[in-house]
Amino acid sequence: MPTTTWNRHHILSLADFTAAEYNTVLQTAASFQEVLSRRTKKVPTLQGQVVANLFFESSTRTRSSFELAAKRLSADTLNFAAATSSMTKGETILDTAKTYLAMGTDIMVVRHREAGVPNAIAAEMDRLGVKVSVLNAGDGQHEHPSQALLDLFTITTLIDPASPRLELLKGKKIAIVGDILHSRVARSNIWSLIASGAEVHLAAPPTLLPKLFAEYILEEAGVKNQQFIISSSPTHHSPLPTPQLFLHWQLEPALQNADFVMTLRLQKERMTDHLLPSLREYHQLFGITRTKLQLCKPNVKVLHPGPVNRGVEISSELMDDPEFSLIQSQVTSGVAVRMALLYLIGSSKV
């Protein structure tokens, strides 16, 4: 493992992650990737520690990936699923967390459909003065740090497998396309990609990328006003020196010469209004296909956090095309990255 100091006790958001922290995660994940390529894929690092997966919302890959990561580190794992728990009898979230605390849990991995739940549990653990760490596995429309970190790992290892690091993305053009309004994945990715020095282009119809959202991001990131450009025309010329975050209400300017395209699921369960005329029209305008990728750099790669609505945000054939699609390697990277996160907070000295 790289010899670094890690001072973060909870991982709740990437908004205040430092370049050193990103690089520590990337290097640690690379070491675990190597462990996972061995015949014996297990290390004793977290032996005796308890990792509880508190998933108050559905999940396939994030939950399984955290569980496998914990097991590969030799931790004992507990899995909680809201639908089959005492929450159906009226138990509160904090009481559920305290139940797991009483069983000796060291790390709580928390997912909830409301933003802020992992923060609330972390605050309660701190108030109680216990050394339990909380890892946000996706909270409402807020953040999904481990997903953005595994995306970062996937693309930086592609560029330099031996030494993935943040600066490899400096100057790269990365398009994030789709349901940005409802996406915690997009929010976390915006922080990590801005920190890397990449040029981040968000593309969505105005209903899924409202101006107010831009102002919110702007305020949160403390990014200077002039770094934001909203373009609704296919060709836009930036008069500004080093813009880093662009918003587009059309797909083409975001794809033009892009190195990576991150597609997002249309989060139908979070749409309360009729934000789109039809899925077919959405696919025509914003769905990523092999033909549309011709606007990008020739060796462009496509990511998607999953689960995918095939034929909506990405064409089915592109999703399965190993020449362009990194979707399977994102899932694979997820285990190494989550091992790194569990290891770093599990052995943090705070």
Give the residue, chosen from 24, 49, 147, 188, that forms a contact with ligand NCD under the rule CB under 6 A: 147
Site for ligand NCD in 190-219 (CB under 6 A): none
Site for ligand NCD in 256-285 (CB under 6 A): 265, 267
Using Cβ positions, the residue closest to ligand NCD within the complex turns out to be: 265
How far apart (Å, rounded) are the C-alpha atoms in residues 169 and 26? 13
Looking at the Cβ atoms of 141 and 244, the one nearer to ligand NCD is 141
Whether the CB-CB separation of 133 and 348 falls below 8 Å is answered with yes
Q: What is the CA radius of gyration of the chain?
A: 20
Burial string for 181-201 (b: 16+ CB within 10 Å, else e) reads bbbbbbbbbbbbbbbbbbbbb
**Quick check: 138 binds ligand NCD (CB under 6 A)?**
yes
Looking at the Cβ atoms of 23 and 65, the one nearer to ligand NCD is 65
Q: Which of 5, 6, 8, 9 is nearest to 132 (CA)?
A: 9
**Quick check: 118 binds ligand NCD (CB under 6 A)?**
no
DSSP assigned state of 306: S
Length of the chain: 350
Shortest distance, CB of residue 267 to ligand NCD, whole angstroms?
A: 6
* Binding flags for ligand NCD, 68-107, as an x/- string (CB under 6 A): ----------------------------------------
Looking at the Cβ atoms of 288 and 295, the one nearer to ligand NCD is 288
How far apart (Å, rounded) are the C-alpha atoms in residues 344 and 6? 7
Q: Which of 76, 73, 128 is nearest to 104 (CA)?
A: 76
**Quick check: 142 binds ligand NCD (CB under 6 A)?**
no
Shortest distance, CB of residue 189 to ligand NCD, whole angstroms?
A: 11
- Give the end-to-end CA distance of the chain in Å, rounded to a whole number: 19
Looking at the Cβ atoms of 138 and 205, the one nearer to ligand NCD is 138
Phi, psi at residue 342, to the nearest 5°? -65, -40
**Quick check: 112 binds ligand NCD (CB under 6 A)?**
no
Shortest distance, CB of residue 140 to ligand NCD, whole angstroms?
A: 9
Looking at the Cβ atoms of 118 and 138, the one nearer to ligand NCD is 138
The amino acid at residue 256 is: Q
Q: Look up residue 27 and give its two tokens.
A: 């290097």
Q: Which residue has the tokens 């981040």?
A: 200
* Binding flags for ligand NCD, 301-340, as an x/- string (CB under 6 A): ----xx----------------------------------
Shortest distance, CB of residue 57 to ligand NCD, whole angstroms?
A: 8
Phi, psi at residue 250, to the nearest 5°? -135, 155
Give residues in contact with ligand NCD (CB under 6 A). 61-62, 138, 144, 147, 184-185, 265, 267, 305-306
